[in-house]
Structure 1
Amino acid sequence: MAELIRDTFFGYSLRLLFGSRVLSHPDETDLPMVWQKAVHEKQATPTSSGANSIHEETHDDPPNGQGGHGTIDEKKHRSTPTQRKGSVASLRSAVTVVDAAGVSKQDSEKGDDTLLVGWYGPEDPDNPQNWSSRKKSWVLVQTLLLTFSIYIGSAIYTAGIAGVSQEFHVSIVAATVGLTTFVGGYGLGPMVWSPLSELPQVGRMPIYIITLALFVVLQIPTALSTNYGMLMAFRFLTGFVGSPILATGGATIADMYSAKKRAYGITLWGVTATCGPVMGPLIGGFATHAKDWRWTIWELMWLSGFCFIVLFFFFPETSASNILYRRAKRLRKATGNTNLRSQSEIDAAHMSKRDLAVAALVRPFTLNFQEPIVLALNIYIGLIYALLYIWFESFPIVFIGIYHFKTQLLGLAFLGVLVGAFVTIPPFFAYLYYVQEPMYNERGELRPEARMPVAIFGAVLVPICMFWFGWTSRESIHWIVPIIGSGLFSIAALLLFNVVLNYLADTYPVYAASVLAGNDLIRSAFGAGFPLFAGGMYRNLGVGWASSLLGFLACAFIPIPILLWKYGERIRMSSKRARHDFD
């Protein structure tokens, strides 16, 4: 239990109040033992990301004169063999404090005495990649709960749009702005929160917890809004502060799982992201029918409040750079050696304030327009997101206007989308296990273009869904038929999101946070704007032709995954930012 909560927000709070004697780390309780273990076993050769790669190295004949990430020259070790048996004092006076945390000498030829702090070894329990399956699963469940709690906030409001329109005497289109401002908020939010979560001094967990706390609190003035402007302002703010998980949830999953296993977690994350907008109208519909539109906001506060309590006590830090940064701080304090640094600290020391500002604020925008792959995939996913929200606006027209569903039961019509998502999981997991996993090389890597056949299949399903739904939505055809057709959309969206997010993360690993934040911005911008004209389009064109228009638009984008499958490698190799060294 101590290990589970040590790196949670609750654990941080206890350590802040009572010091390191509470929920202590091994390097705080038994430093000599940790030091002994490292001296007599292995030395790390850290990678630029903090070091998972380990190679055997004897201490009798270490390499000399290595710059960069060379190993420690034991001839320079000033402690005696007796000291090396466990004296903490020897650690405080030693120039090279050991490989206890994967320590190695930096730039020895230049006279730089920096000691690089990495993992204790290939099975370091603090490395999220080495966590037990149970712990990883528990953290994944919390990630999915947080994603659902935020994503439902957009669609749950739609059930109360009519009530907002009546109470504040605005048009239905103006009331719908409450949906678009929320979606717009969680499109802009990651441009701030995602870069912050990548800073080693911050990490992911504090961003999640602090913004979630704000999200919960801000539901109160939202539900108590006394005028239209107040409601719109707080809808935007809640979307903005609730947004981190929507862009960095995939990064959290990648923190724990190798590239070969990451797709499973991303798939479940995608299902949860689909469940939110689908369940929102259903849950909100019953609340609006029983009370009024304000109860949709109260429900959102209760759900997100429960999520906050769970994450506050049980969600640990998953960022390797933050974990190693805190380890380096502990070792500096324990040994008195100020030369101990994590890789992220070393990298940050060589970055100017201008470089940090560019990385945090400018790069997510510039990558969208300077990289053809990023631009094409972001626009395509933006289209899928827009189709989701504009298409959902047609459900009241179809199932209340044509099939005469009761208002509070309208949400049941969205269950076809939900069922489609869950039905996809078993066959897609089988595909990942039996087809895609054998394609990985010995380093556990897969060429990004090899993922595209799945995206092509998903791209074809989108227009089929639109045509099916549009032309079967009539009184002469049973209502279950368009609902079955709607399930195709979730299958397509799930496959496309999985491929695109993994493709971008694999192709731009150094800029993954910026690329994914830009993707969230584009898709949220599309999702925020399209619902404003959805109702008018469906009423003027009719359900059949309006859905067909969306289907034709989806057809126009089918060539994108096909072209990336055939020519993606050539485009990737011509980019200065994309990764080139796949086999």
Structure 2
Amino acid sequence: MTGIFHDTIIAYGLRFAFGSKAYPYPEEKDPSLWPQMLHPEKDPEARPQETLQADTRNPARFSSDDQRPPSRHSSHTRVSVNDRKAEATGTGDGEKTKDGVAVDVDPERADSDTILVDWYGPDDPENPQNWTSGKKLWVLFLTCLWTFTMYIGSSIFTAGVISVTQDFGVSQVAATLGLTLFVLGYGTGPMLLAPLSEIPQFGRMPIYIMSCALFTVLQVPTALATNFGMLLAFRFITGFVGSPILATGGATIADMYAPKKRAYGIGVWGLFAVSAPVMGPLVGGFAVHAHGWRWTIWELLWLSGFTLVVLVLFYPETSASNILYRRARRLRARTHNSLVKAQSEIDAAHMTIGAVATVALVRPFTLNFTEPIVLLMNLYISLIYALLYCWFESFPIVFQGIYGFREQLVGLSFLGILVGCILVIPPFFAYLYYYQEPRYNENGDIQPELHMRATIVGAFFIPICLFWFGWSSRESVPWIVPVIGSALFPIGGVLLFNSIFNYLTDSYPMYAASVLAGNDLMRSSFGAGFPLFAGAMYRNLGVGWASTLLGLLSCLFIPMPILLYKYGRRIRLASKRARHDI
């Protein structure tokens, strides 16, 4: 239980109240660990200053004495504890001691040298990649729970669209804005909020909890909206404030898992992300039938409130930058030596406001429109995302209009999609284990284009699903047939989303945060726009031809992963920002 609560908000509060005796860190239990996590460092500005970018290949960098090259100036910088003082050459003017820890720094180089705080070895238990499998799975589940809560917040509203039109006297297209503005909010929010989790002073956990708290509280004025404008405003705001988890959840998973295992975590995360919009109409349908659209928001309040409580109690910090930053603060407090620093805070100290703005706001756009790989993959993912939300609009038309389902039971027709989400995971994981894992090299890297194999397979499932669903949705065909056909969409979606996300992060490891932020914005913009005309399209063209049109659109992109699998490395090597070493 101590391991579960360690580094959570509750643990921070108890340490503040009772000091280091509450949930002590390993170095507080054993002071002899201090020297192993301190390394003399010259010219700390030599490293690339990509502070706000998530290093998805190896975010939890560690080093030990046998892994770090010895410093040319190590004779001038000494760190010792009680049992090592005999080795010291003397106590100079730069030495400060407290609690048995001594740090001796050559005063002539005090302005240029830094004592770097790092992991005290490859088995450091504070390193998230060294956590037990049980703790990693628990944190993965909590990350998925918060992601599920956010994504279900979009589609749960769709069940109440008719109720909104009746309450506020607006058209159905206008009422659909309650869905699209929420989606647009969680697409634009990460551009400003997600980079905060990369700042070492913040970390990921406080950003997630603060965003969840705001998301929960703001459900109250949303449910109590007295006019249509108020409803739309709060739907956008709630999507905006809750958005960081959607952009950086993958980075949180990468904090804990090595690259060859990361795809499994991303796969589970993707399963929750895809299944949440499916569950929204099912959960919301019964609430709307009984009490109107406001109860869909109350349901969202209960779910997000439960998620908030669980996060506060059990969600630990996963950012290696933040963990090492706080470790450096603890050692500075013990030694009174300002030269003791973590690499992340050194990097952050040299990031200007202009650099932060460039990373957060400008770079996602420039990467999206100047890198062919990023543009093509973002377009593909955005199209699939838009088709999903557009296709959802046909379910009431088919199952209520054609098959006569009662209003509150229309949501049950989405269960085919949920079954498809579950069925695709075992074979996909088998593919990862038997085919992809053996192709990682000794450094834990893989050629990014190999991810395209799964994308190629997934690309065919989308149009097959849409053709099957569209032309089987008729009175002469049992309702179960289009439901079975709908299960093919998530098979393609899970393969596409997971493979493309891993492909992008492996191709642009130094710019992963910007690439994924741009993807999220573009994907959400498409997803927000398509539902506005989907209802009219299905009514005017008919279910068969409207689904065929969407299927043909998805067919246009099928050659893309094939071409990238064959020529992607050549394109990547021609880029100035993409990775060239594999």
**TM (normalized to structure 1)?**
0.91
Q: Are 2:150 and 1:140 aligned? A: no
Given candidates 61, 65, 72, the residue that maps to 1:51 is 61
- 2:33 aligned partner: 34
Q: Distance in 1 between matches of 2:80 and 2:310?
A: 47
Q: Distance in 2 between matches of 1:78 and 1:376?
A: 52
Q: Distance in 1 between matches of 2:81 and 2:185?
A: 60
Structure 1 residues 57 and 530: alpha-carbon distance in aligned structure 2, compared to 1, 3 A threshold: closer
How far does residue 90 in structure 1 lie from its aligned partner after superposition? 7.4
In the TM superposition, 1:246-325 aligns within 5 A as: 246-325=246-325
Structure 1 residues 92 and 323: alpha-carbon distance in aligned structure 2, compared to 1, 3 A threshold: farther
How far does residue 368 in structure 1 lie from its aligned partner after superposition? 1.2
State the number of aligned residues.
Answer: 564
Structure 1 residues 44 and 93: alpha-carbon distance in aligned structure 2, compared to 1, 3 A threshold: closer
How far does residue 471 in structure 1 lie from its aligned partner after superposition? 0.6
3-state secondary structure, aligned to 2:116: strand
Structure 1 residues 230 and 439: alpha-carbon distance in aligned structure 2, compared to 1, 3 A threshold: same
3-state secondary structure, aligned to 1:362: helix
How far does residue 349 in structure 1 lie from its aligned partner after superposition? 2.9
Query: Is contact 2:63–2:119 with CA below 8 Å preserved after alignment?
Result: no
- 1:523 aligned partner: 523
Structure 1 residues 176 and 94: alpha-carbon distance in aligned structure 2, compared to 1, 3 A threshold: same
- 2:78 aligned partner: 77
Q: Distance in 1 between matches of 2:135 and 2:161?
A: 41
Structure 2 unaligned spans of 5+: 49-58
Structure 1 residues 253 and 156: alpha-carbon distance in aligned structure 2, compared to 1, 3 A threshold: same
Pick which of 408-417 and 14-23 moved more: 14-23
Query: Is contact 2:94–2:104 with CA below 8 Å preserved after alignment?
Result: no
Q: Distance in 1 between matches of 2:109 and 2:418?
A: 60
Give the counterpart letter for 2:335 in structure 1.
Answer: T
Q: Distance in 2 between matches of 1:479 and 1:57?
A: 63
Give the counterpart letter for 1:513 in structure 2.
Answer: A
Query: Is contact 2:40–2:115 with CA below 8 Å preserved after alignment?
Result: no
Q: Are 2:154 and 1:154 aligned? A: yes
- 1:481 aligned partner: 481
Structure having greater relative contact order (Cα 8 Å, sep ≥ 6): 2
- 2:546 aligned partner: 546
Please give the per-residue CA displacement for 1:289-323, whole angstroms capped at 9, x wherever unaligned.
Answer: 11111100000000110010001010001011111
Q: Distance in 1 between matches of 2:406 and 2:71?
A: 79
Query: Is contact 1:159–1:284 with CA below 8 Å preserved after alignment?
Result: yes
Give the counterpart letter for 1:73 in structure 2.
Answer: S
Structure 1 residues 373 and 110: alpha-carbon distance in aligned structure 2, compared to 1, 3 A threshold: farther
3-state secondary structure, aligned to 2:523: helix
Structure 1 residues 439 and 207: alpha-carbon distance in aligned structure 2, compared to 1, 3 A threshold: same
Query: Is contact 1:44–1:54 with CA below 8 Å preserved after alignment?
Result: no
Structure 1 residues 563 and 194: alpha-carbon distance in aligned structure 2, compared to 1, 3 A threshold: same
Pick which of 527-536 and 503-512 moved more: 503-512
Q: Distance in 2 between matches of 1:90 and 1:304?
A: 56
Q: Are 2:379 and 1:369 aligned? A: no
Structure 1 unaligned spans of 5+: 66-71
Pick which of 358-367 and 489-498 moved more: 358-367
Pick which of 132-141 and 361-370 moved more: 361-370
Q: Are 2:224 and 1:214 aligned? A: no
Q: What is the percent sequence identity of the aligned residues?
A: 63
Give the counterpart letter for 1:35 in structure 2.
Answer: W
How far does residue 369 in structure 1 lie from its aligned partner after superposition? 1.1
- 1:350 aligned partner: 350
Please give the per-residue CA displacement for 1:325-371, whole angstroms capped at 9, x wherever unaligned.
Answer: 11111111111111111111222233332212211222122211121
Give the counterpart letter for 1:280 in structure 2.
Answer: G
Q: Distance in 1 between matches of 2:170 and 2:182?
A: 18
- 2:568 aligned partner: 568
Structure 1 residues 136 and 63: alpha-carbon distance in aligned structure 2, compared to 1, 3 A threshold: closer
Please give the per-residue CA displacement for 1:471-527, whole angstroms capped at 9, x wherever unaligned.
Answer: 111111111111111111000000000011111111111111111111111110000
Q: Distance in 1 between matches of 2:402 and 2:111?
A: 79
- 1:68 aligned partner: none
How far does residue 51 in structure 1 lie from its aligned partner after superposition? 3.1
In the TM superposition, 1:4-15 aligns within 5 A as: 4-15=4-15
Q: Distance in 1 between matches of 2:427 and 2:128?
A: 28
Query: Is contact 2:40–2:114 with CA below 8 Å preserved after alignment?
Result: no
Q: Are 2:454 and 1:454 aligned? A: yes
Give the counterpart letter for 1:34 in structure 2.
Answer: L
3-state secondary structure, aligned to 2:156: helix
Please give the per-residue CA displacement for 1:361-390, whole angstroms capped at 9, x wherever unaligned.
Answer: 221222111211111111110000000000
How far does residue 2 in structure 1 lie from its aligned partner after superposition? 3.3
Pick which of 4-13 and 392-401 moved more: 4-13
Query: Is contact 1:287–1:295 with CA below 8 Å preserved after alignment?
Result: yes
Give the counterpart letter for 1:409 in structure 2.
Answer: L
Give the counterpart letter for 2:62 in structure 1.
Answer: N
Please give the per-residue CA displacement for 1:112-157, whole angstroms capped at 9, x wherever unaligned.
Answer: 2111111110000000000000100110110111111111001100
Q: Distance in 1 between matches of 2:282 and 2:81?
A: 71
Structure 1 residues 57 and 380: alpha-carbon distance in aligned structure 2, compared to 1, 3 A threshold: closer
3-state secondary structure, aligned to 1:116: strand
- 2:329 aligned partner: 329
Please give the per-residue CA displacement for 1:384-408, whole angstroms capped at 9, x wherever unaligned.
Answer: 0000000000000101111111111
RMSD: 2.9
- 2:193 aligned partner: 193
Q: Distance in 2 between matches of 1:22 and 1:433?
A: 41
How far does residue 229 in structure 1 lie from its aligned partner after superposition? 0.3
Give the counterpart letter for 1:363 in structure 2.
Answer: R
Pick which of 110-119 and 308-317 moved more: 110-119
In the TM superposition, 1:81-230 aligns within 5 A as: 83-84=84-85, 94=95, 112-230=112-230
Structure 1 residues 406 and 20: alpha-carbon distance in aligned structure 2, compared to 1, 3 A threshold: same
Q: Distance in 2 between matches of 1:387 and 1:526?
A: 9
- 1:498 aligned partner: 498
3-state secondary structure, aligned to 1:446: coil
Query: Is contact 1:191–1:360 with CA below 8 Å preserved after alignment?
Result: yes
How far does residue 274 in structure 1 lie from its aligned partner after superposition? 1.1
Give the counterpart letter for 1:507 in structure 2.
Answer: S
3-state secondary structure, aligned to 2:373: helix
Q: Distance in 2 between matches of 1:417 and 1:124?
A: 42
Q: Distance in 1 between matches of 2:562 and 2:551?
A: 18
